[in-house]
Amino acid sequence: MKLAAKLVLLFLGCLALVVGVFSFLSLRQARELALADHERHASELAATLQSALSSPRIQNVDQILLAWSREVQHVQVRLVNPEDPLNSARRPAVPTNLVVRSTEVITLLYPSRTGQNMMYSYIPLNDTSGTKLEVAAPESFSLDRLGNSLRNSAIALVAVSAATSIVILLGGMWMVGRPLDQLVEKVHRVGQGDLSGPVELHRGDELGKLGEAVNEMCTQLDEQRKRIASETAQRLQAVEQLRHADRLKTVGRLAAGLAHEIGTPLSVVSGRAELIASGKLSSADVQESARTIKTQSQRITTIVQELLNFARRKAPLRERGDLNQLLLETIRLLQPMSDKRAAVITLRPFETETEAGGALAEFDASQMQQVFTNLLVNALQATGEGGKIESSVELVPMAVPPQDVGDTGGEYWRISVRDNGVGIAPEAINNIFEPFFTTKDVGEGTGLGLSIAYGIVHEHGGWLAVQSELGQGSQFDLYLPRNVH
């Protein structure tokens, strides 16, 4: 129900209550006044008729009273004697016990034989027989006037109430309902994230102030939103820069191994070119040498391309891809580095007849490769000469993922990297995912690798877990949801 209608109902309810109480009190007061009036009139009448009433010729008195009653029609006056039960003509209209002992003037309200409410006044006379003057008048005679005036007042009141109700209803709808509708609509829009279009009430009352406050709130929210957006953009840019720096650091590490990788085909190319240039080769040998040069140059191109691909800054892009394939490519990229350290990286890919296309998931290949690289480079650094690094891709059910992942259970890809390296000290294991935490020498470690890997994996709805024993080796498990979010 509309506010204005409720106000009208409340107003009418209160009015009805006040009018009811007022009428009840007025009626009671009028009744008391009528009784007092009646008693006063009766006493005045008794005083006026005193001389006649004190006459011993009571018969005459009756006639006087009868004549008087005929004149004043609504009042009946007669002599009664409640102490003389034998004379029924002089019995009072009310039960005798109510008046018999009284020596004072008494006035009673009592129903007559016809059921009409009558006011009876009994005035004792100055004789010893107990005779009293009974003055009776219908109560309605006095109350009718009050009833009329009450009725007129009620009609006026109803008219005023109706007019007031209409004014409240229309005024309420115009002054309260309309601006409230505008405010509600505005609040709905704000709830849906639309802060544009201020609410325009143009009024100086409380609702106008509320509208201004809502507009101001929206302006502030908008400013905050813009500030948060700009801060988020800056933060993302900083994260991206850190990630890129981390990639370049890996490129630097790989470059040392790649010099050797490129060196071998380059010397083959240069040797073959020299042979061709000497002019001593038959045309078949020239062709053969040219083919070798082509193959070796392609090998160099591939190696350089892979490195450039890894180093290049790319816009984030999530696509469905094969985790087996990506891990294999990463291991290949790190081959020169592992060769240099005489370490072996093996891969046990996920294989099943039903899973066509390998270990499929949705991920950003460039970011995920950075994660794999960080885990594998750490393992290589931890193992040193003759290290053994085993990697695998498996599908595991996970009923309840860790709390901070906030995901429902389901199937997850688990990419594990195990090494037989130095392991991680128990006091350090809780800190390894923190940015800039490193136990490596200056120039060897920046402490960014694992924190970046942690961030990337979380963005993909997964998480990283680690188990390690000092001197025995470490195992990093990377979990990624199988199903796309």
Please give the residue ranges that form the binding site for ligand ADP (CB under 6 A).
374, 378-379, 382, 419, 421-424, 428, 432, 437-440, 445-451, 474
* 121/438 with CB nearer ligand ADP: 438
With tokens 């979380």, the residue in question is: 458
**Other C-beta atoms within 10 Å of 113: how many?**
7
Angstrom distance (rounded) from CA 188 to CA 218: 12
The nearest distance, CB 443 to ligand ADP, in angstroms, is 10
Nearest approach, Cβ of 449 to ligand ADP (angstroms)?
3
Tell me how many degrees the CA angle 378-380-381 measures, rounded to the nearest 5. 65
Closest CB 304 distance from ligand ADP, rounded Å: 25
Nearer to ligand ADP, 253 or 460 (CB): 253
Residue 46 or 377 having the CB closest to ligand ADP: 377
Residue recorded with tokens 């005489």: 342
Least CB distance to ligand ADP at residue 217 (A):
44
Q: How far is residue 251's CA from residue 307's CA, in Å, rounded to a whole number? A: 7
Of the chain, the end-to-end C-alpha distance in Å amounts to 44
Query: Minimal distance in Å, beta carbon 478 to ligand ADP?
Result: 13
The distance of closest approach from Cβ of residue 485 to ligand ADP in the complex, given in angstroms and rounded to an integer, is: 26
How would DSSP label each residue in 408-448? --EEEEEEEEEE-SS---HHHHTTTTSTT---SPTTT--S-
Closer by beta carbon to ligand ADP, 39 or else 246: 246
CA angle 457, 459, 464 (to 5 degrees): 25
> What is the closest distance, in whole angstroms, from the C-beta atom of residue 239 to ligand ADP in the complex?
15
Q: Count CB atoms within 10 A of the CB of residue 3.
A: 12
3-state DSSP of 310-366: HHCCCCCCCEEEEHHHHHHHHHHHCHHHHHHCCCEEEEECCCCCCCCCCCEEEECHH
User: Least CB distance from residue 429 to ligand ADP, whole Å?
Assistant: 8
CB of 376 to ligand ADP, least distance (A): 9
Residue 320, Cβ density class (10 Å: 0-12 exposed, 13-18 middle, ≥19 buried): exposed
Q: Pick the closer one to ligand ADP by CB: 11 or 433.
A: 433
CB 34 within 8 A of CB 138: no
Instruction: Give 470's contacts (C-beta < 8 A, 6+ positions apart).
Output: 422, 423, 424, 425, 426
Which residue, 224 or 346, has its beta carbon nearer to ligand ADP?
346
Q: Which is nearer to ligand ADP, 98 or 242 (CB)?
A: 242
* Residue closer to ligand ADP, measured from CB, 191 or 443: 443
Please, which residue, 183 or 428, has the CB nearer to ligand ADP?
428
The two three-digit tokens of residue 412, written as one number? 């997850």
- Give CA–CA dist 341/387, Å, rounded: 8
CB of 420 to ligand ADP, least distance (A): 10
Query: Residue 124: how many CB atoms within 10 A of its CB?
Result: 16
> In this structure, are residues 321 and 360 in contact, taking their beta carbons and an 8 Å threshold?
yes
Nearest approach, Cβ of 248 to ligand ADP (angstroms)?
13
Please identify, using beta-carbon distances, which residue of 76 and 446 lies nearer to ligand ADP.
446
Question: Which residue's CB is nearer to ligand ADP, number 81 or number 474?
Answer: 474
Contact (CB, 8 A) for 94 and 108: yes
